[in-house]
Amino acid sequence: MRHRNLLGILLFCVGLLAIVQPAMADTVDGVTFTLVSADQAGNPGGTLTWDYNVSNASGVTIVGLFVNGGLFTGGTPNALAFDGFGTSGTIDNGSSLQGVLFSFASDPGVQNSFNSGQFDLTVLLEDNNGTFVDLFSDYTGTISPKANVAEPGTLLFLVSGLLAALLALRWGLR
């Protein structure tokens, strides 16, 4: 009986592993770059913002230089949203940081757009060679209009009408 339970739990865990997609990380020279939420969605006129995690195990301090997000349509991309690794502008060896990487302000006149590509984060390793490292992460940004949702008053009116019709049918059949 225990073996069946364990087998069931094992199959469930394997199923979860097949469904859950881990965040893709790019590691170069001990520096790891991931997006907090790679797939963003919003409405016309809204702003999408991508955040990052960077971990430094390079053996030296790193400096965030700039980010490139490729081509965007249906709005205005903003690589200047990159916080440059916070107030110090660096991440020490053995440390990590989460911050703002990139933003996209969608045009209110464009009802639908889809942008995808790869962010390219350029980092400088403060070693004797002045090594530059490019780290990459895939992203998507989807803009679509808000779904029309019926107001509670409309739903209450519809339910009341259906209930009245049901009662009228029931009393009419007697």
The answer to whether the pTM exceeds 0.75 is no
Q: Report yes or no: 143 and 43 within 8 Å, Cβ to Cβ.
A: yes
Which carries the bigger pLDDT value, residue 70 or residue 36? 36
In the predicted model, what is the mean pLDDT of residues 60-83? 95
* 24-147: CATH topology: Immunoglobulin-like (2.60.40)
Phi, psi of 62 (to 5 degrees): -120, 155
Query: Which is more confidently placed, 113 or 5?
Result: 113
Predicted pLDDT at 169: 73
Over residues 150-162, the mean pLDDT reads: 70
For the chain, the domains span 24-147
Please name which of 79, 101, 87, 94 lies closest in space to residue 35, comparing C-alpha atoms: 101
Question: What's the pLDDT score for residue 39?
Answer: 96
Top pLDDT among 147 and 92 is at 92
Mean pLDDT of 116-144: 94
Nearest Cα to 98, choosing from 55, 62, 156, 143?
55
Q: How confident is the model at residue 16 (pLDDT cuts 50, 70, 90)?
A: very low
171/147 Cα distance (integer angstroms)? 39
Distance CA 100, CA 86 (A): 9
* Residue 170: predicted pLDDT: 74
